[in-house]
Structure 1
Amino acid sequence: MFDLQATDGSVRRKEYVSPIAPGGEAIKDPPASLLDGDAAIELHGRLLDHYLREIDRQAENRREMATDEDFYDNEQWSDDDKAILEARGQKALVYNVTATTIDWVLGTERRARSDFKVLPRRKKDAKPAERKSELLKYLSDCNDSPFHWSRAFADAVKVGCGWIEDAIQDGTENEPIVTRYCNWREMLGDSSASEMDYSDGRYIFRSKWVDVDVACAIFKNRKEIIESSVDNVDQFVELSLYGDGPMDQKEMDLDRVTTGRRSDNAIGGYHRRRVRLIECWYRAPAEVPKISKGMFAGEIYDPRSPGHQEEIAAGESEVVTRTTMRMNCAIFTTFGMLWMGPSPYRHNRFPFTPVWGFRRGRNGLPYGMIRRIRDIQEDINKRASKALHILSTNKVIMDEGAVDDIAAFEEEIARPDAVIVKKAGKNIDINADRDLSQWHLELMSRSIAMVQQSSGVTDELMGRGTNATSGIAIQSRQDQGQMATSGLFDNLRYAKQKSGEKQCSLLEQFMTERKAFRITDKRGNPQYIEVNDELPENDITRSKADFTITEADWRATIRQAQADELFSLLAKLAPGAPQLVMVVLDLLIESMDIPNREEIVKRIRQATGMSDPDQEEPTPDEMARKQLQMQQQQFTIQMALSELKKKEAEIRKLIAQAAEIEAKATNTKVQSQRVAMDAAGAAVAQPGITHVADHILGESGFKSVTDQKNEAQEAMAMAQAAQAQAAPQPQPPQGAVNV
C-alpha cells in the first residue's frame, strides 16, 4: 500500500510494518499480468465510472462549497458583479462579518480541545489499556494530531465536511501510525451513504496531482501506464472530464500566465509534467475468516495476532468463514491500474473519517455555516457599496438648458469646491436622493444583526457590548448561542470517537515491537513508559480495548456557569454545615476551568481522604494513605486498650485497698465488742464497780450514745426557743388604745 500525502505535495513510497494483512494475504506489488488482466481492466472501468458519476452528482454542491470557502477568504464578489461596479465607478466593498462569526467557532474548538482515554474490556487488562492511552497520546504529540483535527473541523464549519485519515506509514523516520488532515477538495465520498462514518457506503475516492517522475519512482513497474496517462490525454480534457473546479483549482493556477512570460520560453524549456492519481477504497462482498465470540469477536482473523491465537487456544473464540463486505484499495490513473489489493487493516473500515457540518435532507450532501448566511453577507456588501457610492458622488436633477456646457458642468460638479453658474429661471437640484444612504446603512446594520441570529454567534458570545444589562440575561443569551452551534461540536466528537477506534485497532495490530517513549502531563513533568517488554501489564497486542472521548471541553462556559451556581449554594450551606462543603469541595474545584485544576483537586483529596469517583483502582498514593490510616487506627486502638488496662488495674488496686480497710474495720469492731462484753461481764459480777467506771469515763470526756442523743434534743429545743423570741411582735393598729 502507498501513502500519497507529502509536505511538498508530492508522493512518496510507504511500506507497511506488517508484510501480511489480516487473513494471511501478503501485502506486495501485484504482478503486471494481474494489473493488465481482464479482471483489473473491468475493475478499473467500474471504479472510474463510479468516480465520474460522483463528480457529476456532487458538482453543483461542490461549487457552492468552494464559494462558501471563498466568502471566508474575503472573495465575496463574482467577476461579473465586479465588472458592473467598476463600469459604474463603484467600489466593491467587503464587510466580512462571516469570517468573524466563523473564527469564533474555530477559536472555541482550538481553545478547548477534548481529551480521550482507552478502557479495557476485562478487569485484568486495565494496565495494558492504560499503556494504550499513554501510547496514543504520544502518537498524538508526534503527529500534531490536534492541529490536523482543527483543520478538518475548519473545513466542516466552512464548507460542510472535513476529512481525517488514520493510516500506516514508513516507520524508519517517523512513527508508523499517523493521523493527518485531508483536503476536502480531493475527497469524493459515496453520496448514497447515510451514516455519518460512511459505514454503509461502498467507496471513497481521493484524487491527487503528482509529478510524473515521482509517480514513476513509486510505481516502478507501471511507468508505461503513467507516461501514457500524461501523453495520450489532453490536459484540458483531463481537467474538465476527470475533475471539477474545486478539485483542480490549484492545478489550473499552475498553468495560468501571471507574469507575461510563457512557460515554453522559460530557461531550458522545462515544463512540469503532472499526472492525476486516483486512490479508491471500496467494499466488496467476499468470503473472509473472522473471529467468532470472545473479546475479538467480529474482527478479521489475523494469524500473526498473539491475542487471536491465545483466545482460540483457550477455546474462548473460534475462526469462522463469513460472507462480509471486505475493504479493498486500488490506485489508478485515467489510463490504467497501478495497484490493487485487500486492505491491510484489521478493523475493515475506511481509513478516512468525515467531520460533518450540516447535511441536506433530500440528498445528504454537506454544507457549512457560511451557506446559511451567505445571502445576508452579500446584502451587507451591496448595501455598504451603494451607501459609499451615494455619499461619494453627486446626483443632479436639472431643467433642460440650465447650463451651457454639460461636460464642463460634470467636471465642475465633481469638485468639492464647485462653482455652478446656471441660467435664470432654470432649476438645478444637486445631491438628489442623498438621504438614501442612511437607509442603506440601516438595512446593512439589520443584516449584520441577522447574521448573528442565523449563526447563533451573538455579541454576548464574542464579549461585545449588548442591550442585556443583567448577568443572568447575558448568560442566557450565551447559552442560547452555544446551543445553536452545539451540533457542530457534537459531530466533531463523533468523528474523533470513530477515528480513535481505528487508531486503537492499528495500535493493537501493528505496534508489536518493544518500544520506550516519553509523555508529559499538563505541568510538563515527563513520564517514561515502555510497552511490549515481555511484562503482561505492558503487552498491548494481546487484549482488546475501547476508545472513548472524555467530557466535551467545548462546554466549558456552560460548565463554569453551573460551577458558579454550585459555589453559591455551598457558600450558603457553609455556616451551618461546613462538613458538607468539605465532602464535595474536590468535585466543585474539578468542575471549574482554572489553571492547575488537577493538582488542586489532588491535594484536596489527599487532605480530605476523598477518592476520585471515576477511578477504577486505587493509586499508589491512595494505597499508601489508606495503609497509614489503618496504622494510625491500630495505634489509636492499642493506646485505648492500654489506657483501659491501666484503669482496670487501678480499679482492682482500689478494690483491694477497700477490702483491706473493711477487714481492719471489722476486726476493730469485733475487738471492741469483745472488750465491751468483758466489761459488761465484770459489771454484772461486781455491780458496785459500775459507778466508779461511769465516774472515770465522765471525767475523761466520754459520752455515751444516750447522752449524745439527749444533748442533741436539748440543743434543738433551745434553738427553737431562741428563734421564737427573735420573731417580730405584731403591732397594734393606728389609733387603738391600749387598755
Structure 2
Amino acid sequence: MQSIEVEELNPKLSRFRTMFKAAVEKQKPWRRNAKTDYKFYFGDQWDESDRQALRKQKRPAITINRVRPFINLISGYQRINRYEPDFKPRTAKDLDLCKVRKGVTKYIMDSCKFNKQESRYFMDGTIGGLGWAEVSYEFDYHAMDGKVCIKRRSPFDIYIDPESREPDLSDAEYVIDAKWVSKNDLIRTYPEFKEDIETFTQLRDQDEDLDNEELEPVWYDAKKKKCRLITVWYKDYKQKTYYAVGGQIVTKENLIPGMIPTQTFRVPQTEIRCYVMLGDVELEDIPSPYKHGRFPFVPYYAYYIGEEGEEPAGIVRDLQDVQREHNKRRSQFLHLINTMANRGWFLRKGQPQAKKQLETAGSTPGVVIEYEQDPPKQFDTTQVPAAFAQFDNQASEDFREISGINEAMLGQEMAAGISGKAIELRQRQAVTQVAGLFDNLRETKEMILHLLWGSQGAPGLIPQYYTEEKTFRILGDNGQEEFVTVNQQQVVGYDWLGNAIHQTLNDLSVGEFDVVISEAPATPTQRIAQYYGLLELLKLMPPNVQMLFADMVIEASDFDNKEELKQRLQAALQPQAPPQQLPPGQGGGPPPGQPGQPGIVPQGVAAQAMQAAL
C-alpha cells in the first residue's frame, strides 16, 4: 500500500496521481486568492497580524463591509434578467420538433431548479472568478426512474488540465472531480475494496502530516476523517477502421459477408473515460456513461482570457485594497472619537485625591471634582481632521469606479434636477461595464444545452436517456400550459405480411437544429418594459390602426386570463349578421345600413377600450 510500490505495480495509477498533483499545484495561487475573496464577501476582511497589532494598542478593528452590497446587486440583476434557451430549425420539417425540444428543456430545467443553481455558480464567479455546473443523469432505484440533473458544484472541488486555455474545455485533456467523502460512504459504494479503504485510512490516521500541503490535505483530512475521492474524466485516443464499399463508408460491424472493400482507412477517435482512485487505491476505470463526447462539467468565468499565467478573477479581487483602506481609516476615525472623550489632564503634584477622581470619572459628563490647590487643566481638544471626510468620499468613488456600479444602479439619490432619462442612461452605462459577466453566463448556458442535446452522432443526455414514451407539461405558443407526449409509437400502416408499420411521434433523437440563447431576458421586469414600449409606439398611430394591434397589446401584458380578454375583444370587433327585417308596420326597424341598425357592435366601443389602455 505504500506510494513507492504504486510506481512499480500500477503505471496507470501513478500517471493519474501525477496528473492530479500537477492540477493541484497549478491551482494553488487561485485557490489562495479565491478563499480570500470569499472571506471579504462574508466580512472577514482583517489580516490577523493587523488585528493583533491594533489589539495591543487598544484600538478598535471595525469592519464596514462595502463588498457584499455590490456583489448582491450584480446577483440581483442576474436573477431578474434571465435568458431563455431557444431552438432554431435547420429545415422546415424540424419546426414542430424544435417547439417540443424547447418545452422539454424548460420542463427539465424547472424540475432540477436550474434558476437557483445558475444563480449560485454565477455568485461563485463574481466572488472568486470561477463557478462550476455539473450536468448528469441520476437514477432513483426506489422509483425505478431517472432524471437529468444540473447542479452547482463547489469551485474548490474541480481541477482542470494545467495546459488548458479555452473556457469551454475543448483543449483540456482531463477534468478532475475531487470530493471529500467519509470512509463508510466509500465502503458502501465500493464494498469489494473494503479492506483497501480501511488500510488507507489507518495509514493516514497514523501520520497526519503525510501530505504536508500548504492549503489543505490532498488525499486525506485527518481532522475531519474524510477521504479524497478522485474521479478523473480524461480523453482516450484510439484508431477506428472504416471501409469504402460501393460508394459507402461503413465500419467493420456493418460489413456484410461477400462485400469487398475498395479502400480501407483509419480515423482517430476520441473517447471520454472515467478513472476513480482513492490515494494509492485504484477503484475503477470505465468509459464515460454519456455519449455526447464531452466532460460533464461546465465552467463559468467572470474575468478570464486564457493567457499563460492568468488566473480567473471576480469583482471582489479588485475591491480588496479599497475595502482594507476603508476599514483601517474608519477604525482610526473611531479611535479619535473615543480618545476625544478623555483627552487627559494637567494637575499639580501633591493632589492624590483629585488625581484619583480624574482617573476614574474625568470623562464622565456632569462629574463634580473638589480640589484645594490649582485647578486641573484639560489637554487641548483634538479636532478630527477634515481630510477624513474627503478620504471617505474618495473611497466611495473608488468602489463605484472599480466595480463599474454607479450610484444610479445602486438606487442612491443623485443631484437634484437630473432627469429620469439621464438616470436611465447612467444605469445603462453601469450595465455596459458589467456586460461581460452576463455574456459569459450566456455562453455557459449554451454549453449546458449542448450537453443536454448533443450533436449529430453524439447524442446528449436527453436523447440518450429519454427514449421511452413520456408526457411533459410544456408552455404553448399561446402562453398556456400544454401536455406533449414524446417518443410515442403510432401505427401508420401495414406491410404485405400484415405487420404493423410504426412511426415515432416527437422523436427526441431526430431532427437538426441550432441551440441559441434569446436576446431579450424573459423576466417580469423586461416584459413590463416591452409592454410599455409597445403602448408608446401605438400612441403614434391613428385610432383605427391601433385596433389592428389590440391583441398584441394583450399578449404582451401580464394580465390574468388574457386569452379570455383576447376572445372578447375579437368578438367585439367582428360585426354580427343583422336579423331578418320585417315589413314596415310589422315591427320592422330601419332599412339595413341606416343608423340604429341592430346587431352591429359600434367600433367606437373597442376603440375607447384601447384608448383607455393607452
Shared fold (TM-score greater than 0.5)? yes
Aligned partners of 1:516, 1:422: CA distance in 2, in Å? 98
The residue identity in structure 2 corresponding to 1:529 is V
Aligned partners of 2:225, 2:6: CA distance in 1, in Å? 28
Q: Is the 8 A contact 1:489 1:554 kept in 2?
A: no
> Superposition pairs for residues 556-575 of structure 1, below 5 Å?
568=536, 570-571=538-539, 573-574=540-541
Aligned partners of 1:450, 1:474: CA distance in 2, in Å? 20
- TM-superposed CA distance for 1:153, in Å, is 0.7
Corresponding residue to 1:477 among 418, 426, 431: 426
1:72 aligns with 2:33: no
1:170 aligns with 2:139: yes
SS at match of 1:95: coil
SS at match of 1:244: coil
1:467 aligns with 2:467: no
Q: Is the 8 A contact 1:164 1:182 kept in 2?
A: yes
The residue identity in structure 1 corresponding to 2:286 is G
> Superposition pairs for residues 666-677 of structure 1, below 5 Å?
none
Mark the CA change 1:193 to 1:557 in structure 2 (over 3 Å): closer, same or farther. farther
Aligned partners of 1:98, 1:494: CA distance in 2, in Å? 26
1:346 aligns with 2:317: no
Aligned partners of 1:341, 1:40: CA distance in 2, in Å? 20
> Superposition pairs for residues 378-527 of structure 1, below 5 Å?
378-394=324-340, 396=343, 410-417=359-366, 428-432=378-382, 434-436=383-385, 438-467=386-415, 469-504=418-453, 505-519=460-474, 526-527=481-482
Aligned partners of 2:550, 2:298: CA distance in 1, in Å? 40
Aligned partners of 2:13, 2:486: CA distance in 1, in Å? 43
Q: Is the 8 A contact 1:216 1:226 kept in 2?
A: yes
- TM-superposed CA distance for 1:545, in Å, is 3.8
Aligned partners of 1:586, 1:39: CA distance in 2, in Å? 76
Corresponding residue to 1:281 among 218, 221, 233: 233
- Equivalent position of 2:104 in the other structure: 135
SS at match of 2:68: helix
Bigger Cα displacement from structure 2, 387-396 vs 66-75: 387-396
- Equivalent position of 2:516 in the other structure: 548
Q: Is the 8 A contact 1:369 1:455 kept in 2?
A: yes
SS at match of 1:518: strand
- TM-superposed CA distance for 1:546, in Å, is 3.4
* CA displacement, residues 392-434 of structure 1 (integer Å, 9 cap, x when unaligned): 22474777977866887554445445668798699752443x3
* TM-score normalised to structure 2 length: 0.75
SS at match of 1:337: strand
Aligned partners of 1:431, 1:526: CA distance in 2, in Å? 74
- TM-superposed CA distance for 1:151, in Å, is 0.7
- Equivalent position of 2:80 in the other structure: 111
Corresponding residue to 2:323 among 353, 377, 386: 377
- TM-superposed CA distance for 1:79, in Å, is 2.2
Bigger Cα displacement from structure 2, 360-369 vs 509-518: 360-369
* CA displacement, residues 104-141 of structure 1 (integer Å, 9 cap, x when unaligned): 11111222322113334433233333322222222112
Bigger Cα displacement from structure 2, 331-340 vs 108-117: 108-117
> Superposition pairs for residues 629-644 of structure 1, below 5 Å?
none
1:528 aligns with 2:483: yes
Aligned partners of 2:161, 2:377: CA distance in 1, in Å? 69
Aligned partners of 2:477, 2:52: CA distance in 1, in Å? 55
- Equivalent position of 1:711 in the other structure: none
> Superposition pairs for residues 632-671 of structure 1, below 5 Å?
none
- TM-superposed CA distance for 1:381, in Å, is 1.4
Aligned partners of 1:204, 1:606: CA distance in 2, in Å? 58
CA RMSD of aligned residues (A): 4.2
Aligned partners of 2:568, 2:444: CA distance in 1, in Å? 35
Q: Is the 8 A contact 1:166 1:180 kept in 2?
A: yes
- TM-superposed CA distance for 1:184, in Å, is 0.8
- TM-superposed CA distance for 1:564, in Å, is 5.9
Q: Is the 8 A contact 1:372 1:454 kept in 2?
A: yes
Q: Is the 8 A contact 1:157 1:369 kept in 2?
A: yes
Aligned partners of 1:145, 1:289: CA distance in 2, in Å? 41
Aligned partners of 2:345, 2:42: CA distance in 1, in Å? 44
- TM-superposed CA distance for 1:514, in Å, is 1.7
- Equivalent position of 2:13 in the other structure: 44
- Equivalent position of 2:304 in the other structure: 359
Q: Is the 8 A contact 2:60 2:331 kept in 1?
A: yes
Mark the CA change 1:153 to 1:290 in structure 2 (over 3 Å): closer, same or farther. farther
> Superposition pairs for residues 275-314 of structure 1, below 5 Å?
275-288=227-240
% of aligned pairs identical?
25
Aligned partners of 2:211, 2:452: CA distance in 1, in Å? 35
Bigger Cα displacement from structure 2, 494-503 vs 226-235: 226-235
Aligned partners of 2:98, 2:478: CA distance in 1, in Å? 23
Aligned partners of 1:198, 1:515: CA distance in 2, in Å? 33
Q: Figure out how many residues of one structure are paired with residues of the other and give that number.
A: 530
> Superposition pairs for residues 67-216 of structure 1, below 5 Å?
67-172=36-141, 173=143, 175-216=146-187
SS at match of 2:411: coil
- TM-superposed CA distance for 1:348, in Å, is 0.8
Mark the CA change 1:59 to 1:273 in structure 2 (over 3 Å): closer, same or farther. closer
Corresponding residue to 2:32 among 60, 63, 74: 63
Q: Is the 8 A contact 1:331 1:337 kept in 2?
A: yes
Structure with bigger gyration radius:
1
Mark the CA change 1:566 to 1:334 in structure 2 (over 3 Å): closer, same or farther. same
Mark the CA change 1:101 to 1:282 in structure 2 (over 3 Å): closer, same or farther. same
Mark the CA change 1:602 to 1:137 in structure 2 (over 3 Å): closer, same or farther. farther
Mark the CA change 1:476 to 1:179 in structure 2 (over 3 Å): closer, same or farther. same
* TM-score normalised to structure 1 length: 0.63
Mark the CA change 1:529 to 1:237 in structure 2 (over 3 Å): closer, same or farther. farther
* CA displacement, residues 22-61 of structure 1 (integer Å, 9 cap, x when unaligned): xxxxxxxxxxxxxx99999222222222221222222122
- Equivalent position of 1:689 in the other structure: none
- Equivalent position of 2:191 in the other structure: 220
Mark the CA change 1:106 to 1:527 in structure 2 (over 3 Å): closer, same or farther. same
Aligned partners of 1:422, 1:381: CA distance in 2, in Å? 46
SS at match of 2:406: coil
Q: Is the 8 A contact 1:508 1:540 kept in 2?
A: yes
- TM-superposed CA distance for 1:236, in Å, is 3.2
SS at match of 2:409: coil
Mark the CA change 1:227 to 1:114 in structure 2 (over 3 Å): closer, same or farther. same
Aligned partners of 1:198, 1:385: CA distance in 2, in Å? 45
Bigger Cα displacement from structure 2, 177-186 vs 335-344: 335-344
Mark the CA change 1:542 to 1:447 in structure 2 (over 3 Å): closer, same or farther. same
In structure 1, the gaps of 5 or more residues are 1-35, 256-271, 304-308, 310-318, 609-627, 633-739
Mark the CA change 1:42 to 1:333 in structure 2 (over 3 Å): closer, same or farther. same
The residue identity in structure 2 corresponding to 1:280 is V
* CA displacement, residues 484-513 of structure 1 (integer Å, 9 cap, x when unaligned): 111111111000001111111111122111
Mark the CA change 1:105 to 1:217 in structure 2 (over 3 Å): closer, same or farther. same
* CA displacement, residues 155-197 of structure 1 (integer Å, 9 cap, x when unaligned): 0111111100111221444633211110111111224322111
- TM-superposed CA distance for 1:339, in Å, is 1.2
Aligned partners of 1:589, 1:189: CA distance in 2, in Å? 50
Aligned partners of 1:451, 1:178: CA distance in 2, in Å? 38
Q: Is the 8 A contact 1:66 1:246 kept in 2?
A: no
Mark the CA change 1:589 to 1:282 in structure 2 (over 3 Å): closer, same or farther. farther
Mark the CA change 1:40 to 1:499 in structure 2 (over 3 Å): closer, same or farther. farther
Q: Is the 8 A contact 1:402 1:426 kept in 2?
A: no
Mark the CA change 1:346 to 1:208 in structure 2 (over 3 Å): closer, same or farther. same
In structure 2, the gaps of 5 or more residues are 255-263, 454-459, 491-503, 578-614
- TM-superposed CA distance for 1:444, in Å, is 2.2
- TM-superposed CA distance for 1:566, in Å, is 6.7
Q: Is the 8 A contact 1:386 1:440 kept in 2?
A: no
Bigger Cα displacement from structure 2, 482-491 vs 41-50: 41-50
